[in-house]
Amino acid sequence: MSDDKRAIDPWNSTLPADYETLMAEFGIEPITDELISAFPSTHRLLRRKVEFGHRDLLRIVDSIRRNEAYAVMSGIKPTGEFHLGTMMTAEEIIFYQSLSDKSVAHYCIADLEAFADNGIPLEESHEIAVGNVADLLALGLDYKRAYIYKQSEERLVQKLAFIFSTAVTFNMLEAIYGPKQIKYYLSALIQVGDIMLPQTEEYGGPKPVLVPVGIDQDPHIRLSRDIAKKFKFVPPSAVFHKLTRSLLGEEKMSKRNPMSMMTLSDDPKLAERKIWSALTGGRGTVEEQRRLGGEPEKCVVFELMTNHFIDDDDELRKIYWECKTGARLCGDCKSQLADIVSSFLRKHQQKKEGLMDLARNIVEGER
């Protein structure tokens, strides 16, 4: 088994060393320019191939073309504040939801998984979920065409997981996830229930479902597609994004080191400090940087601009070439990004504050 194969573990995600090997190993299709141009509009994550791979994404393109129903489904494990990784998934749901008025978004609050994996009691994750949903709404989800629910309270998901358990063996689960405690296998079956929920009669019957996820979640997609075939559902489609590095350039963001990750609740001043201490691809001295240029490919600051904070492709290209040719220093980038991020956070937090009551009503099933 390759290192990459071990790296795709939904409960312990590390960055794969080589996305291409991973795709070849697991039969993930690349996102091509032709595929991108088949969508009625694009998003920076697609254009820049941050969304780098997919399974059956054409099925969603076809639904959009034919003006037929499809669902976009994802969720959050309510263990803490929205961070840049969860923001990326939220942006994807919002984008794919926006492409057709025949789409519906399903957003699952994976509180059972937060309990199983992180030991967070349901009452505690409930409060976290209210904040998470307010973030999602503030980012622009059309909640009137969305179903947002907690796993612990959606009986149909639990029922589906139980039914699906009749079609899997311990060996199958171990082959996909490796040897794990039963709680992880149960969580996996619950997730399959979440993914299949939009296709139940109660939610309009079989239809294409797109799941935008980090590549570490592919084991759930593979299991869901196997089970879908056995139960006559449409195998779910998936689009995979690259995993977000820590601000300090480590493979994993660590909640133990708050300087390594940015959340949407960070005080804007603190967020600015985090940017100033983030890893760059700069050289040891100004003289060297002017002479050799920087290395944006290694730079977390440039990654933040690419993945999250600069929409304008021309602007990003300009930054790239100024860096490569030594016309730009890391201080220029950090100062520019710090301004963008602090202004974004101020606006976002204000918007979120105004949506907390709505989010609570949604999470408590009163809307």
Interface residue with ligand SF4, options 216, 302, 310, 342 (CB under 6 A) = 302
Q: Using the rule CB under 6 A, is 185 a contact of ligand SF4?
A: no
Of 2-10, 64-72, 109-117, 295-303: span binding ligand SF4 (CB under 6 A): 295-303
Beta strands in the chain (DSSP E): 29-30, 51-55, 70-76, 103-109, 146-150, 209-214, 237-241
Nearer to ligand SF4 among residue 120 and residue 330 (C-beta): 330
Q: Which is nearer to ligand SF4, 261 or 330 (CB)?
A: 330
**How do 103-109 and 70-76 pair as beta strands?**
parallel
Beta strands at 209-214 and 237-241: parallel, antiparallel or unpaired = parallel
279 binds ligand SF4 (CB under 6 A): no
**What minimum distance in Å lies between the beta carbon of 319 and ligand SF4?**
6
Applying CB under 6 A, which of residues 243, 282, 304, 316 lies at the interface with ligand SF4? 282
Query: What distance lies between CA 191 and its chain's CA centroid?
Result: 15
- 3-state secondary structure string across 241-286: ECCCCCCCCCCCCCCCCHHHCCECCCCHHHHHHHHHCCCCCCCCCH
Of 29 and 322, which has the nearer Cβ to ligand SF4?
322
Which one of residues 76, 323, 341, 345 is an interface residue with ligand SF4 (CB under 6 A)? 323
Identity of the residue, 10 or 282, whose beta carbon is nearer to ligand SF4 in the bound complex: 282
Q: Residue 286: CB partners within 8 Å, gap ≥ 6?
A: 329
Q: How far, in Å, CA of 113 to CA of 188, rounded?
A: 9
Binding pattern for the stretch 327-366 against ligand SF4, x by CB under 6 A and - elsewhere = -xxx--x---------------------------------
Taking CB under 6 A as the criterion, the residue among 137, 262, 275, 299 binding ligand SF4 is: 299
We find the least distance from the C-beta atom of residue 354 to ligand SF4, in angstroms, to be 34
> Measuring CA to CA, which residue among 33, 25, 19 is closest to residue 222?
25
- SS3 assignment, position 149: strand
Q: Where are the beta strands (DSSP E) in 110-164?
A: 146-150
* 306 scored as a contact of ligand SF4 (CB under 6 A): no
The torsion angle over the Cα atoms of residues 150, 151, 156 and 162, rounded to 10 degrees, is -170
**Using CA atoms, how far apart are residues 262 and 10, in angstroms rounded to an integer?**
21
* 275 belongs to the binding site for ligand SF4 (CB under 6 A): no
Structure tokens at 72: 């976009």
Q: Does 296 bind ligand SF4 (CB under 6 A)?
A: yes
Closer to ligand SF4 by CB, 105 or 333: give it: 333
Residue ranges in 91-150 that form contacts with ligand SF4 under rule CB under 6 A: none
Give the range of 55-63, 228-236, 322-330, 346-354 binding ligand SF4 by CB under 6 A. Answer: 322-330
Q: For residue 214, which amino acid is it?
A: G
Candidate ranges 59-67, 153-161, 189-197, 321-329; the one touching ligand SF4 (CB under 6 A): 321-329
- Identify which range of 6-14, 120-128, 224-232, 291-299 contacts ligand SF4 by CB under 6 A: 291-299
What the block records as the tokens of 112 is: 């059972």
Residues of this chain that bind ligand SF4 (CB under 6 A): 280-282, 294-296, 299, 301-302, 323, 328-330, 333
